Structure 1
Amino acid sequence: MRAIRGLWRWRHNPLRRATDLAEAWVALATLLFMLCVAPVLGVLVGTAADDALRRSVHDQQQTRHRVTATVVRELDRSPLDVDPETAAAGDLRSRVLAEWTAPDGSARHGPVLASIDSPHAGDRFGIWTDQHGRTVARPLDAATAATHAVLAGTGAALAAAALAEGARRLVLWRMVRRRYARLDRAWDRAGPDWGRTGTGS
């Protein structure tokens, strides 16, 4: 709104400089970009991200399988043994040596993270594996994918708006520098004669 008021104020003002009008037009163009182009860009990026993430959700749900593993023995616990996708803050999981049967029927064993507080040999728990029994992260769910898509679109819109504002500030900075340079040159021409007799001052 300030840009529109600026344009209206400078429309017929006798003190208007060309740079004043240019600054108002730059501000108006930036405002229109932020209100019209940045949201559209955000929607496009969000839609593209949503499509990609939906395909990823579908692929992961087709290729990742939940199987039951059996604890062989507990391994040393580490503060780093946290699943970032499922664990709450401060939720430590037990690191155990376990064995399980892969979806293709092969027997597997190895160290995994178990959602058991005090694991004992023979305890059973669920893990996610690929078709060949290799442990993988749990598949992405649709709600998480949608959240990531919304965040991507919002981030793109905000980045575009910030870029437009940065460009506006750069243009205004260059205009102000040129204005000061012209003022300095005018001052250099007029300044030395000020106050002297016979100079018409």
Structure 2
Amino acid sequence: MAFRGPKVWLWRWRRNPLKRRADSVEAWVLLAAWAVTVLAGVLAGLTTARTVEQGMARERVEWRPVVALLTEQAPGTADSRARVSSGEQVWAKVRWSARDGSPHTGQARVRPGSGVGTPVTVWTDPRGRMVTQPATPSEAHTRATLVGGLAGVCAACVPFVAGRALRSRLETRRIDRWGYEWARFGPLWGGRTTG
């Protein structure tokens, strides 16, 4: 196990006679990469979360429930309704009128065996198109947090990977330079270096 010695804070920026310009460049590249990674992740996450939450709040304001009527017999039988749990539903074709009076049709979830003309509540957007029920404020907050977190992680990956690639390139260049300097000054030492 190698001895590392005491941990020194900010060692990359301290004065050292053995420190080369490449070491300073690498230190600043690392600092910049971490700063941009954190900044990009936080900004992207917060912006995305706010946008998602505002969009869902707009949906809660604009989307309205409308009473639609079944245009066909729902699959299943009326006796199956007694045996089926209250949460089980089937798809059936329904018809409703938009705010401007234009007729619309679509598929909605209804109880099995429901007859033609049975009223069903569906949600519509301002154009009268069927949409899902809008998210509650707490559901919207949860979704916005999850989407914002994912967007933040994805955005932070870009500068992080770029910083790692640049650091790898600097390290390769530094090792090549060491090899060049060793080849240049090694023979000047004279004598044997191996036993």
Q: Shorter-normalised TM-score: what interval? A: 0.5 to 0.7
Amino acid at match of 1:183: W
**SS at the partner of 2:131?**
coil
Deviation at 1:33, TM superposition (A): 3.4
CA distance in 2, matches of 1:131, 1:40: 32
RMSD, matched Cα: 3.8
8 Å contact kept, 2:50–2:144: yes
Structure-1 residue corresponding to 2:20: 17
Deviation at 1:126, TM superposition (A): 2.5
8 Å contact kept, 2:67–2:119: no
Deviation at 1:93, TM superposition (A): 4.2
Number of aligned residues: 173
Structure-2 residue corresponding to 1:74: 74
Distance 1:110-1:40 versus aligned 2 partners, 3 A rule: closer
Structure-2 residue corresponding to 1:159: 154
Deviation at 1:136, TM superposition (A): 0.7
CA distance in 1, matches of 2:12, 2:99: 76
Question: TM-score normalised to the size of structure 2?
Answer: 0.63
Structure-2 residue corresponding to 1:136: 130
CA distance in 2, matches of 1:163, 1:53: 28
Distance 1:8-1:40 versus aligned 2 partners, 3 A rule: same
CA distance in 2, matches of 1:74, 1:9: 72
CA distance in 2, matches of 1:23, 1:181: 15
Structure-1 residue corresponding to 2:31: 28
Distance 1:71-1:121 versus aligned 2 partners, 3 A rule: farther
Unaligned stretches of 5+ in structure 2?
1-6, 77-86
Choose the corresponding residue for 1:51, options 51, 54, 57. 54
Question: TM-score normalised to the size of structure 1?
Answer: 0.62
1:26-47 deviation line (CA, Å, top 9, x unaligned): 2223333344554244323433
Unaligned stretches of 5+ in structure 1?
77-90
Deviation at 1:188, TM superposition (A): 4.1
Choose the corresponding residue for 1:127, options 102, 108, 122. 122
CA distance in 1, matches of 2:53, 2:190: 74
* Larger RCO, structure (CA 8 Å, separation 6 or more): 2
Structure-2 residue corresponding to 1:200: 190
CA distance in 1, matches of 2:37, 2:53: 23
Name the % identity: 24
Amino acid at match of 1:73: Q
CA distance in 1, matches of 2:152, 2:102: 49
Structure-2 residue corresponding to 1:84: none
